[in-house]
Amino acid sequence: MIESDRSDMLRVNDIHTYYGDSYILQGVSLRVEPGEVVCLLGRNGAGKTTTIRSIIGFTPPRRGAIVFKARDITRLSSDRIARAGIALVPQGRRIFPDLTVRENLTLAARGSGWNLDALYQQLPRLRERAQHRGSELSGGEQQMVAIGRALMANPDLLLMDEPTEGLAPLVVRDIARLILRLKEQQQAIFLVEQNLALALQVAERVYVMNKGRIVFEGTADALRGNDEVKRQYLGV
């Protein structure tokens, strides 16, 4: 179990999460420090998205604790967790198809720092598409809107659930570049991914999950050199 430490932005302590009677997360512990990019890797069904859902409050754990900026958020509702400073880029993008790009981006905007001008500087394609509806965008453009929408909440911690899933290699490259730019700005990011190459490019530390348990924790370089973990748990 990870003990509480006020220096961590996020600390997940020995959580156990269920869907009904299905025991999904079986004692998961992890941490994200301020300004750090941390990636959770694993095969489909390993429990990665459930970890995200537990942190953001969609599927709270039955046991264990989630501490954000020294505050226990384990039993808070998802809207209170968001207001505390955590924003989610959900799996599958989930932007509003009938709203324009601009409306999607400003829907949950709050705080200072990220505004439309700042966002358009980083993602100029969104300025060009500002008056287009979500349903009129490509998959890559929709993903950029989902990331931009989360940033407009000016979060202390950004959760990203499979942001490159189903996207063309050029779009994956653009997302990797954006994550690296956010990292330069000291944005803390917890990234769930299956793309090992992207994870090793952007993350300082990585966790590997298998069947609801953490089976590896270390630096990106440590995972890069661990052929057994990559073969057994990531199919590389």
**171 part of a folded domain:** no
Structural domain count of the chain: 1
Task: Please state whether beta strands 188-193 and 157-161 pair in parallel, antiparallel, or not at all (unpaired).
Answer: parallel
**100 part of a folded domain:** no
The C-alpha atoms of residue 110 and residue 11 are separated, in whole angstroms, by: 24
The pTM for the full model equals: 0.92
**139 part of a folded domain:** no
The C-alpha atoms of residue 164 and residue 182 are separated, in whole angstroms, by: 16
Which CATH number do you get for residue 210?
3.40.50.300
Range of the domain at 27: 1-85+157-165+187-236
If we measure between CA atoms, which residue out of 190, 200, 204 comes closest to residue 225? Answer: 200
**26 part of a folded domain:** yes
- Condensed to tens digits (0 to 9), the pLDDT of residues 126-182 reads 999 899 988 898 988 999 999 999 999 999 999 999 999 888 899 899 999 999 999
Structure-block tokens of residue 7: 């220096």
Query: What is the phi-psi region of residue 69: left when phi exceeds 0, alpha when psi lies from -120 to 50, beta otherwise?
Result: left
Main-chain dihedrals φ then ψ at residue 151, nearest 5 degrees: -65, -35
If we measure between CA atoms, which residue out of 29, 41, 28 comes closest to residue 5? Answer: 29
- Condensed to tens digits (0 to 9), the pLDDT of residues 104-132 reads 999 888 888 899 999 999 888 899 989 99
**177 part of a folded domain:** no
**98 part of a folded domain:** no
Given a contact cutoff of 8 angstroms between Cβ atoms, the answer to whether 91 and 40 are in contact is: no
- Condensed to tens digits (0 to 9), the pLDDT of residues 181-201 reads 999 999 999 999 989 999 999
**142 part of a folded domain:** no
